[in-house]
Amino acid sequence: MDTRAFQRTTALLLLGLITAGHPLQAAGRLLLLGDCAVTVHTYEMRRDFTEMRQIMVNEDKHISTRLISKQTMKELQPLESCCFLKQLLSFYVERVFSSYVPNQSQFRRNTSNLANSFLSIRNDLLKCQEEMRCECGADSEARLATIHANYEKLEPRDGAVKAIGELDSLLEWMETYGDGRK
């Protein structure tokens, strides 16, 4: 094989490898929450979060306060996972994203993308709730009450910065829930 043919073949292989992963990322992940199944596009949410994460960490004035921990998500009862996620996403859409107005246009876009993704997932979860496939129990209510109480102790912008900075725990949970790595 001559050098030109080798370069062409290599370029085609690289292009194939790059585009082969893209449809899987765009397709999303099926998240099974009790009797409810929703598609989540964690790749896009992770991308938007990653672009603004360091700013959130730097702006966080309340390092000792924790709203969402990996433990909170990990110990969640499977039957209550649908209700918990629906209410947590509602909290982010209605309270957190509305309290954070980023200075940079890129972060406005990231925040808007995350809010729209959360709204879409929440709407799918609402359908499950309407069909009685989304159970709310004392465990999820207690966890959410703790999150809300800790958030209320902070000024609105500080709480929003804290909550957005902790999205990593929520995204990781959505990426791994139900695959044996919970």
* Span 9-33, pLDDT tens digits: 333 333 333 334 444 445 688 999 9
H or E element, residue 14: helix 3-27
Prediction pTM value: 0.80
Question: What secondary structure does DSSP assign to 111-171, as a single string?
Answer: HHHHHHHHHHHHHHHHHHHHTT-----HHHHHHHHHHHHHHHTS-HHHHHHHHHHTHHHHH
Residue 60 φ then ψ, to 5°: -70, 115
Which pLDDT belongs to residue 171?
Answer: 94
Q: Identity (one letter) of the amino acid at 140?
A: S
Instruction: Give the number of other CB atoms < 10 A from CB of residue 134.
Output: 24
**Alpha carbons 78 and 33: distance in angstroms, whole number:** 6
Q: Assess if residue 135 is contained within a domain.
A: yes
Q: Assess if residue 151 is contained within a domain.
A: yes
**Alpha carbons 111 and 177: distance in angstroms, whole number:** 24
Q: Assess if residue 57 is contained within a domain.
A: yes
Q: Assess if residue 24 is contained within a domain.
A: no
Q: For residue 49, give the nearest of 134, 137, 168, 154 by alpha carbon.
A: 168
Q: Tell me, what CATH number does 66's domain have?
A: 1.20.1250.10
Residue 52 φ then ψ, to 5°: -115, 0
Instruction: Give the number of other CB atoms < 10 A from CB of residue 138.
Output: 9
Structural domain including 130 reads 29-176
Q: What is the pLDDT of residues 87-140, one digit of tens each?
A: 999 999 999 999 888 877 778 899 999 999 999 999 999 999 888 888 888 999
Cross-strand partners of 30: 39
- Give me the residue label for tokens 């972060």: 107
**Alpha carbons 86 and 128: distance in angstroms, whole number:** 10
Which pLDDT belongs to residue 2?
Answer: 52
Number of structural domains in the chain: 1
Q: Which two tokens stand for residue 48?
A: 């938007």
Q: Quick one: what percent of the chain has pLDDT higher than 90? A: 51
Q: Assess if residue 71 is contained within a domain.
A: yes
Confidence tier at 75 by pLDDT (50, 70, 90) = confident
- Mean pLDDT is lowest, of 4-8, 29-33, 66-70, for 4-8
Q: Assess if residue 82 is contained within a domain.
A: yes
Q: Assess if residue 45 is contained within a domain.
A: yes
Which pLDDT belongs to residue 1?
Answer: 56
**Res. 3: pLDDT tops 70:** no
